[in-house]
A and B are shown apart, each in its own frame.
Chain A
Amino acid sequence: DAKTTQPNSMESNEEEPVHLPCNHSTISGTDYIHWYRQLPSQGPEYVIHGLTSNVNNRMASLAIAEDRKSSTLILHRATLRDAAVYYCILRAVGTASKLTFGTGTRLQVTL
């Protein structure tokens, strides 16, 4: 599996935008970029995914570099409920292929 690199932790103030970076320099052409987050004592939750173009949904935006070697998850207005560990994962195109979790970024949101 191609590897991803994320900062261990980040902090944000509430109501401020948050940009969570992820490097994936060995990404292959058929790898989707997925983001999941895990709140304390819960299972992970899907956030967003993309292949080449930037993506938006109700939770976040995903900005993908032109060479696909990095991406950024954007939370437009962080709230206390967004405090979680955010995982950037590469997932091969295919039938229900497995997710391999890295260490993720622990996001702290303060008032």
Chain B
Amino acid sequence: GAVVSQHPSRVICKSGTSVKIECRSLDFQATTMFWYRQFPKQSLMLMATSNEGSKATYEQGVEKDKFLINHASLTLSTLTVTSAHPEDSSFYICSASWAGNTEAFFGQGTRLTVV
């Protein structure tokens, strides 16, 4: 299957700083990428959907100014957590897909810890 690579896999940052997470589709062009957040013992929660070259669509309750998503190319999307706080500590997962396919491909996830 297609490969989606997420970087970094783990990051620890200080409260108030910003952190950028990259999601790359390695062997296909991802017209759409999804960003999820997962707290311990809970399911994945969709944060936003990004289409290449256009603004991301955020789910209700997700602050677009805090979670900046950029999908500037067909192989790269980034999620920037701005002014991170301890409550933003979570497992962030990206997913990529292309027009017409029925299967979604996921990155390995990024564990963010804000101290």
Residues of A within 8 A of B (CB): 32, 34, 36, 38, 41-46, 49, 87, 91, 93, 95-96, 98-104
Contact = CB atoms under 8 A, between A and B. Distances in A.
A41 B34 CA distance: 18
B40 to A, nearest CB: 11
Given A100-B46, A101-B46, 10 more contacts: A36-B104, A41-B111, A44-B44, A91-B102, A93-B102, A96-B97, A96-B98, A98-B34, A101-B43, A101-B45
29 contacts: A32-B102, A34-B102, A41-B91, A41-B111, A42-B109, A43-B4, A43-B94, A43-B107, A43-B108, A43-B109, A44-B93, A46-B103, A46-B105, A49-B103, A87-B43, A91-B102, A93-B102, A95-B31, A96-B31, A96-B32, A96-B97, A96-B98, A96-B101, A96-B104, A98-B46, A99-B104, A101-B45, A102-B43, A104-B43
